[in-house]
Structure 1
Amino acid sequence: MGIGPDGTGMRIRGRLRRRGGALLAAGLVGGLLLTGCGGPGGSSDSSDSSGSKARGPRAADEPAASVAPSAGKEEAAPDYRSTFALDVDTASYGYARRTLDEGRLPEPGTVRPEEFVNSFRQNYPRPEGNGFSVTVDGARTGEDGWRLMRVGLATAQAPASGERPPAALTFVIDISGSMGEPGRLDLVKTSLSTLTGQLRADDSIALVTFSDEARTVLPMTRLGRPGGEVRERVRNAVDTLEPTDSTNLGAGIRTGYATAVEGARSGATNRVVLLSDALANTGDTDADSILERIAKARRDHGITLFGVGVGSDYGDALMEQLTNKGDGNTTYVSSPSDARKVFVQQLPANVELRARDAKAQVVFDRDAVSEFKLLGYDDRRVANDDFRDDRVDGGEIGPGHTVTALYAVKLRDGAEGEVARATVRWLDPSSRAPREQSGSVAVSALDGSLWSHGTTPRLRVSAAAAYFAHRLGGASDEPFPGEPSLGQLSAYVGALADETEDSDVRALAKSVRQADQLRQ
């Protein structure tokens, strides 16, 4: 999809370093208010875990070898495990589409394959209740011994009744001069007005604006009935916003979190929502000091951060750094249709959590696999031994969301039996007890040709999105095994768009064509 239906926040602390690097299709309230595994071709089984710190992250029957990323492939190390925190930011794909529409290739550093992949709908089976389903499948890529393996995770949909905890949302709105460009503040204002009409009577909103300084325009206020006085007051406040002066992002964050802390509600989803082009140029522009304020508010008050990026000039890296530190996620909006998809179509009650601190670990059978490479998730890697250490943060995942990870896997000659087992671990949102769910895939399940009609269309869409991102990321001279050229990929995605009749796949086909033309 041009806008991903799923969103999740993730962060890793302690021994894990993260680089900050987001399409509102991830769902403003699904990402703003939160997000999961499943699919054809793999088996799934469930188990609970005690989460004992004394217990190692490897079951007795798991291979004792890890594969660490290097230039183009993962080299054999002590074990054959791959571990990452769940995350489905989608801003990278949204920003790339905006850039291509303007006739430019995106900067390679803004391209993250997992955000491209997770921008598209998947048809994974859903579990019941909290937690995940796990699906593992794949296909031959066309090169000798190489397969593309997909790990798919999915959470249950939100209840049809729409019941959820109330939300307390502090909107921190950039009104600096750079927001005057069409598609920035005007789009933010339209989105906020739409959102005001969509939220429930027991939800609360606060408004903070910043340019060279920050001020609280509206303290935390319950919205009350639709059409009531409070909603009208919010809309009037939004309508008066005009761009002015420079961008003191530090002041906006500081005032925004102070307002959120003062208005925090027990039993509610308390979240700061930053709407900005993230081009800080005055006041406190040091990312580390801004990040520390965010981390303290998260630790002390449980307030998370959701970033909504806008503008053709966009501080992608800073925005992702901020939301990573704030236990949130980022998305990017470039058009009214993007905003409508988020605020109107994906606003349903995706507030309650299905899982806390979710992480995934894939264990490859060393007798069947000689090499493997995770496509993307460079900022989400977790030390293998930290998989069952619940002090290491993962992703906060809400209802109705999916997470997809792709691996290039080289099988050994004559390989048979199981290729890999994928396990997702999370904390129950209510009891915080650790839970796990696993799925596996056999060699025989990866024999189909990737681009043939016998392979599920959604697997092919995932592959196309990942390969497209890899090409845009400046890796054309070092393709993944079986990776097509942009011209070939354009033909594949065009056929997929016709087959799926999916407008989001059509938008992907358009972007691939644009990139191919710009590269020629």
Structure 2
Amino acid sequence: MSRTRPIITATVGAALLASCAGPAVEEPAATAAPAAAAEMVVTGTRIRERADSIVAEDIGTLPGARVAAPTPPPALAVQALTRAPGLAYAPDPRQVPQYQDFGRDTFTAVAQNPFKVVREEPVSTFSIDVDTASYSFVRASLTRNVLPQPAAVRVEEMINYFPYNYAAPRSADQPFSTNVAVMPSPWTAGRKVVRIGIRGYDVAPATRPRANLVFLIDTSGSMNAPNKLPLVKQSLAMLLEQLDGKDRVAIVTYAGSAGTALEPTPASQKDRILAALDRLGARGGTAGAEGIRQAYALAQQNLDPRGVNRVILATDGDFNVGITNPNELKGFVEREREKGVFLSVLGFGMGNYNDALMQTLAQNGNGAAAYIDTVAEARKTLVDEASSTLFPIAKDVKIQVEFNPAAVAEYRLIGYETRMLAREDFDNDRVDAGEVGSGQTVTALYEIVPVGGPRANGDLRYARPAPQTPARAQEYGFVKIRYKLPKEAKSRLISTPIGRTAEFARLEDAPQEARFAVGVAAFAELLRGGKYSGAASYDDVLRIAAGARGQDPFGYRAEFVQMVRQAKTAASMASMRR
């Protein structure tokens, strides 16, 4: 965060005093405030308590007072307000109005995958994605009764937020099972949806590898909010409970500079680790690149050749000191990945959340990106799914689907826009792709137009129709999955056809897990603007999801139904409000 000091006049206008509803205090001759006193930043739209110095990013004014002020994160709880230097009032903290600002979250806008003509491009290739950050951010937005910005909605992350009850693979040597289903599209009559589901081998706790973890924690001033650094501490304390004496934990922090807060320590020494977490406070700028460098160096010093070596970054992504260029950071984590240290990213906060940077780091660091907005989400990611979060069973996992032109006229991959690969990348073991954790499930959906169905691109006058033969028409396509075992450099291949035997005449007859995934996809398409949602509505999503909830031991699917209901009445844009 920028360290520009604001300019505050000797008097504060009556409008400010009235809005704060606090008693006026006569201003004495210029006196210095106690060094330990908390300071408060006042802007034209919000008030923020600050425990270090008053800082500013943008220049704003409040009626009746000239104040150079920042644009802070949203809805920060003011716990204690003491007098700031130069301010002529001491407001009662219980009377200070609260404000929210959702306008500075950063996402990368990517065009949605279009329909492809099978005769022209029969092959679709992409890297799997097990990130869930988009779903949690969407939920946080809807909880505030605001629709998320379309760029925040990544359909594949919405779908893959949920575990699916796919058949498990038999052994770790072939760590995936493949599940295929074809069903009518619920949003466009005459089209179909192909569901490709894979499930990773579930490593038994007794046989899991050792973990060498470095918690890299953002302690800059932008993390000074209840839903940021305090939630980081709670989240990592939960993760600590999933580790044992064979695992080691270190802590690196960064603000204006970076440093080691805890040398590598056996996870069994929980009191020592928790004490180091508890001592952390938020202040200063955000030297994220230097923190990343030091965290990787610490992980390398204690590299376990047979274990899992991982940096876990907890931040809002607001890097503003030192190297901030995403391409430079991307290149760094790519090189460290090749040395055996992976990077996972946990995002926190809303208001200046930098999703774009965190996606870049996680995708190129062979790790997943999650967004932690509540203690419940921390428990899901770091307790219930700790094995899949920490322990990969395969890396560089790629999917390639070849569609049969005798059966399919057009296709569209739903989501995965940031994970697309060139056709030749599939067989190239030097090309990076996603990793799958222990017991994890991954789902991909294609919308296809059967030959003779309602096409998106229309017919060409001079195109030659594909030959029709009964044998070829029995398959819609062919799925290939390429992967590497965690400690191997050469990939392996498994494949399965998309046959008529996997097809269901009615959506209601399709497997429950497939129907639920389709409902989530329809919801995500509506949130993205509805370009490909056809005739689907929120009520259709509710009908599909409610009918396919099935066993829901943690309530994730019930929560999704509530999110859809919230979206029906949510505002299109956040308002600045008291």
Normalised to the residue count of structure 2, the TM-score between the two structures is 0.72
Deviation at 1:119, TM superposition (A): 0.7
1:176 partner letter? S
Give, in whole Å, the separation in 1 of the partners of 2:154 and 2:402. Answer: 23
1:80 aligns with 2:118: no
1:448 aligns with 2:493: no
Give, in whole Å, the separation in 2 of the partners of 1:247 and 1:354. Answer: 34
Q: Residues 428, 250 of structure 1: CA spacing in aligned structure 2 closer, same or farther, 3 A cutoff?
A: closer
Which residue, 340, 355, 364 being the options, matches 1:316? 355
1:435 aligns with 2:460: no
3-state SS of the aligned residue for 1:237? helix
Q: Which has the larger radius of gyration?
A: 2
Instruction: Give matches, 1:29-48, under 5 Å.
Output: none
Q: Residues 426, 499 of structure 1: CA spacing in aligned structure 2 closer, same or farther, 3 A cutoff?
A: closer
3-state SS of the aligned residue for 2:129? coil
3-state SS of the aligned residue for 1:202? coil
The Cα RMSD (Å) is 2.3
Greater mean alpha carbon deviation, residues 441-450 or residues 106-115: 441-450
| 1:153 paired residue number | 198
C-alpha contact (below 8 Å) 1:110/1:317 kept by paired residues: no
Which residue, 181, 189, 195 being the options, matches 2:225? 181
Deviation at 1:358, TM superposition (A): 1.5
Instruction: Give matches, 1:244-259, under 5 Å.
Output: 244-259=283-298
3-state SS of the aligned residue for 1:470? helix
| 1:479 paired residue number | 532
Which residue, 506, 513, 516 being the options, matches 1:458? 513
2:143 partner letter? D
* Number of aligned residue pairs: 440
Give, in whole Å, the separation in 2 of the partners of 1:499 and 1:258. Answer: 44
Give, in whole Å, the separation in 2 of the partners of 1:417 and 1:443. Answer: 6
| 1:412 paired residue number | 451
Q: Residues 280, 198 of structure 1: CA spacing in aligned structure 2 closer, same or farther, 3 A cutoff?
A: same
Which residue, 235, 259, 267 being the options, matches 1:215? 259
| 2:280 paired residue number | 241
| 1:6 paired residue number | none
Ranked by relative contact order (alpha carbons within 8 Å, sequence separation 6 or more), the top structure is 1
Which residue, 468, 481, 488 being the options, matches 2:540? 488
Deviation at 1:77, TM superposition (A): 5.8
Deviation at 1:425, TM superposition (A): 1.2
- CA displacement, residues 50-71 of structure 1 (integer Å, 9 cap, x when unaligned): xxxxxxxxxxxxxxxxxxx987
Q: Unaligned stretches of 5+ in structure 1?
A: 1-68
- CA displacement, residues 415-437 of structure 1 (integer Å, 9 cap, x when unaligned): 84111111111124455443222
Give, in whole Å, the separation in 2 of the partners of 1:322 and 1:241. Answer: 24
Normalised to the residue count of structure 1, the TM-score between the two structures is 0.79
| 2:423 paired residue number | 384
3-state SS of the aligned residue for 2:369? strand
| 1:100 paired residue number | 142
Instruction: Give matches, 1:113-512, under 5 Å.
Output: 113-130=155-172, 131-142=175-186, 143-159=188-204, 161-223=205-267, 225=268, 230-299=269-338, 301-313=339-351, 314-348=353-387, 351-413=390-452, 416-430=473-487, 432-443=489-500, 445-450=502-507, 452=508, 454-474=509-529, 476=530, 478-481=531-534, 484-497=536-549, 503-512=555-564
Deviation at 1:510, TM superposition (A): 1.1
C-alpha contact (below 8 Å) 2:118/2:405 kept by paired residues: no
Give, in whole Å, the separation in 2 of the partners of 1:74 and 1:442. Answer: 20
C-alpha contact (below 8 Å) 2:155/2:525 kept by paired residues: yes
1:94 partner letter? S
2:532 partner letter? P
User: Structure 1 segments of 4 or more deviating over 3 A?
Assistant: 69-72, 75-79, 348-353, 413-416, 428-434, 494-502
Q: Unaligned stretches of 5+ in structure 2?
A: 1-110, 453-467, 573-578
1:291 partner letter? K
C-alpha contact (below 8 Å) 1:135/1:152 kept by paired residues: yes
| 1:53 paired residue number | none
Give, in whole Å, the separation in 2 of the partners of 1:162 and 1:332. Answer: 29
1:183 partner letter? N
- CA displacement, residues 160-213 of structure 1 (integer Å, 9 cap, x when unaligned): x52221111111101112212121111111122222232110111110111111
3-state SS of the aligned residue for 2:493? strand
1:147 partner letter? K
C-alpha contact (below 8 Å) 2:478/2:496 kept by paired residues: yes
Greater mean alpha carbon deviation, residues 163-172 or residues 142-151: 142-151
3-state SS of the aligned residue for 1:379? helix
Give, in whole Å, the separation in 2 of the partners of 1:446 and 1:201. Answer: 49
| 2:43 paired residue number | none
* Percent identity between the two aligned chains: 33
